[in-house]
Amino acid sequence: MKIITRMIGEDLFESSTEAGNLVRIDMRKASEKTGQSPVEILQSALAACAGVEVAGMMKKRRRTVEGLRVEVTCVRNEETPRWLKEIHCKYILTSPDATSDEVEKVTKLALEKYCSVASSLKSVITFSVEIER
């Protein structure tokens, strides 16, 4: 799996997958911003990754999933780097036949076992550099 990210302007980047799917990463001031920042994209990815698992597990339990909304709130470090010190995900399932215990159980499973984004937050990151002239 490979992602290529290119600078396309001041504080503006575009990432593409090998299949050509694009996402814009925007770190400009709010009045100029048209995309999410890297940390906002991370929050969105976490919410969606576990969300798809929660919805899938509820359907496997033969529960009706009419909707799912995920609210992610974070506490960031005050100084640089402004990493996420705390992440809270609130999963709000719209379902006439699900119980709170079921939703809590599958959400915990999604975040602790099945969500690749949540697991990736525990990864070791390596890097290399290259200069083109």
Neighbours of 24 (CB within 10 A): 15
Report yes or no on 46 lying in a domain: yes
Report yes or no on 92 lying in a domain: yes
Report whether the peptide linkage leading into residue 38 is cis, meaning its omega lies within 30 degrees of zero.
Answer: no
- Using a cut of 0.85, tell me whether the model's pTM lies above it: yes
Q: Are residues 49 and 73 in the same domain?
A: yes
For the segment 47-106, what is each residue's pLDDT rounded down to a tens digit? 999 999 999 999 999 999 999 999 999 999 999 999 899 999 999 999 999 999 999 999
Are the C-beta atoms of 35 and 24 separated by less than 8 Å? yes
Q: Are residues 28 and 40 in the same domain?
A: no
Q: Return the half-sphere exposure (C-beta side, CA atoms, 13 A cut-off) of residue 26.
A: 12
Helix (H, G, I), strand (E, B) or coil at 113: helix
Q: Are residues 108 and 69 in the same domain?
A: yes
Q: Are residues 107 and 51 in the same domain?
A: yes
Burial of 44 per CB tally in 10 Å (0-12, 13-18, 19+): middle
> Domains in the chain: how many in total?
2
